[in-house]
Structure 1
Amino acid sequence: MTDVSERSGVLSRIFATDPNAAPGDSHEQVVLCHDRDTGLKAVIAIHSTALGPALGGTRFHPYATEEEAVQDALNLSRGMSYKNAMAGLDLGGGKAVIIGDPTKIKTEALLRAYGRFVQSLNGRYVTACDVGTYVADMDVIARECDFVTGRSPEYGGAGDSSVLTSFGVFQGMRAAAQHKWGSPSLEGRRVGVAGIGKVGHYLVEHLIEDGAQVVITDVREDAVNRVRAAHPGVEVAADTDALIRANLDVYAPCALGGALNDETVPALTAKIVAGAANNQLAHPGVEKDLADRGILYAPDYVINAGGVIQVADEIEGFNFDRAKAKASKIFDTTLEIFALADSDGVPPAVAADRLAERRMAEVGRLRTILLPRSR
């Protein structure tokens, strides 16, 4: 059994009793799910339902410890509250993680058991795809659960949300280029993409179409080979460390979180950071380090919101053109954040947080006005 003192860090985050906790770090609800027969061990974290049901994906990952899994769920769910708020959605923030290697333990029975736990929350949490889960998995989960998005088109779903995630990241990158260099075009710019999985390889296509010079890296050789086969002119860096030290105009972290830290920020040559990964800032203060070096950071949860916009559109009947039109507004939202950052004299990440928190407070407050019945 884990000693209480070892768990206090997680519990203090949930209840916001840690004096060093970040603003908005408390969570409404955290659910631990366990089904021995299927091997399911999952965490569902609901950060906020101020704007509506908590929408966020399910990550399937072989975490080193259960505490690490809980911490990731807390980080990701908080990010979803801010992401959904900045995307203009009437949805709160939540996230779930399933502990284990999806290539080894993922089964129909496990996914359906997980679906029953999500169903037990009666709509407070709506799930979707994330790292380690796919459209086909959502279809399986939906056999036990009504609160699933990111389903396949044959079931009326939005399909692969990576399509609009990459599109939104590209719009955010264009906005950063506009703010930094006076033009939204990436033509002739050298862009490094770290992680060319579900989102990264679509982003490469957008960049090449816009005339950018692209350098890639990924831990999986098959992912690199796939991109190189489609785009032979793409350069390949040996690893992420080599990529960030390469001569770049833009750096796009598109793998797991924590990409911007005390080691990577001083080594960056790029003048813009705009990528798809969640929680790119390893700890508070990194946003200031970037600003001090003159590096323009496009807040991750703002520019990678295309995917959640896509799956959220599914809730009322999916229309791709409508969802893409909403995702295209990421360009304007990102410019608004840069303008606020300049006027307030703060890094863009701080400006984005302020806008998100303002919307959650102002719109969430309206729920105190009693209605005869819920809509």
Structure 2
Amino acid sequence: MIDVEQEIIRAHRAEWARVVAALTRRFGDLDIAEEAAAEAFATAVQRWRADGVPPNPGAWLTTTASRKAIDRIRRENKRDDRHREAQMLHDSSPPAPAGAVDDDRLRLIFTCCHPALAPQTRVALTLRMVGGLTVPEIARAFLVAEGAMEQRITRAKAKIRAARIPYRVPSAEDLPVRLPGVLAVLYLVFNEGYLATGPGTDPVRHELTAEAIRLTRLVRALLPADGEVAGLLALMLLIEARRAARVSAGGELVALDEQDRGAWDTGLIAEGHRLVRERLAAGVAPGRYQILAAINAVHTSAPDIRYTDWSQILALYDQFIRLDPSPIVALNRAIAVAELDGPQVALATVDRLEPRLAGYHAYHATRADLLRRLGRGHEARAAYDRAIELAGNTAETAYLIRRRDQLR
């Protein structure tokens, strides 16, 4: 017997972005596309419970959403415009040219990353409209409150309407300007799949990581000379290579130092290493994704955690923090410092980050581990408790609980 609730959840994950992309391309309005898609999914909740899940859920949702969009356009437009909008139901004209980007979803990502919007705003909007991520998931990615993120996305859509920013298929000349936003979207979609933040989702969402890799490969085909595109692809491949070893059979996150490295995908690692070597040979100053890829290349080069070249990792983080002096980069750098200079030195760095990372679970998890290594069990337990309270990933929560309960 089909579980209708689970089928609706699966359909939302798989079809949301496709439905929004199809409607935006057809009607030229992101706001209408999203609202029509949301109405279609709301209708599915009611109809599928009563009538059962249709044979082709995606087609059902697209058709229903298209009708919802047309109904709304007809209601909002003036009488003189109704005949033009009604023709959309029976429009037999050929589709608009695809422009420089053939893939529907990637085209919409480039379209949403419009330079008229602030960088973080365009990324957040695109994650919602195209990536299919929920507002809570996007808020956690940006480390902001859900209400603030909801307002940010709402303001972005309002600006698009007020400034009459057109839905336009990007030309080849548009791609480099919009590329940083596109890469940020793909990176955050991959991260949500790599370590899902929602408490009601699978701990690892392979459909998101696979789609992010697919789209990044397409971007690389469009811009083969761009170092950051190659770096992002290498980063994704080197992380994805470890997926089979990241969650135990019991559903608990497996830390890097405990993973079975024999379960890593050697093909993905080889491809990732090749891309990193190509960028090093280019002799060009690396960007953030190239540095992150190089860090992961060092990790995946070690046959055992004991042979990890932490001095090289720290040197890469030193380079990274000059490029991006953010508290999260500083937190990750402190982990390498702990391996070279000891947990006491690293803890001093981590404690200075507390004002900016107090609501970030990884901050408390890192601090808990350092306190544990220093034998400060009572403080470590309190830090683990706070990390568990903030963590949304079920596998990570299970790991943190086990580590806390191992304290004496």
TM over 0.5: no
More helix by share: 2
Higher relative contact order (CA 8 A, sep 6+): 1
Structure with higher Rg: it is 2
Taking structure 2 as the reference length, what is the TM-score of the superposition?
0.27
